[in-house]
Amino acid sequence: MAILPIVEVPDPVLRKVCAPVTEVNDEVRGIVADMFDTMYDARGIGLAASQVGILQRIVVIDLQERPEGEEPAENEAEADAGGTRNPHAFINPELVSASEETSTYNEGCLSIPEQYAEVTRPARCHVRWLDTDGQPHEQEFDGLMATCMQHEIDHLNGVLFTDHISRLKRGMLMKKLEKMRRNG
């Protein structure tokens, strides 16, 4: 498979709404595989297709949860041997409902490198999607998975995590990103 270039702010593609996938076929499965390769290479836990310049409603997530004290895999061979990967692909994911109860996580984004902010979102969400075989699924998520699902579905709708923080915090974060880019 291939590692795709990750689109970074302020690229306007990140603000576009992605189109639904009309048919789950080998091309879509290839995009999913490339997205996983890209996400793992960048050491992320989630990636939306728009982040690699593909305006289709596709999300990949792997929280790569490990037993207490175990470090993340350094490479694909180690991950495969250690069995720490738990990849999930979501085609046309749709947020059906969300809880009134909220939770706050320190979110980051591969499209806004090395920048993080506390974001409050619904603590649970109910999502409907298709898998890579085109089969429909529905599930309620909580914890980090709920946050990640909402973050990635936001991407499909042209929304970034920085849209959920104050203008002042967003401005500070973007200035830090620009300074980081200038300093190499």
152 is catalytic: yes
Q: Which residue has the tokens 């929280």?
A: 63
Structural tokens at position 88: 């999930």
161 Cβ neighbours under 8 A, 6+ residues apart? 107, 108, 109, 112, 117, 119, 151, 154
* Bond preceding residue 122 cis, omega within 30 of 0: no
Inter-residue contact 110 to 39 (CB < 8 Å) = yes
Structural tokens at position 163: 């849209």
Catalytic residue numbers, as ranges: 152
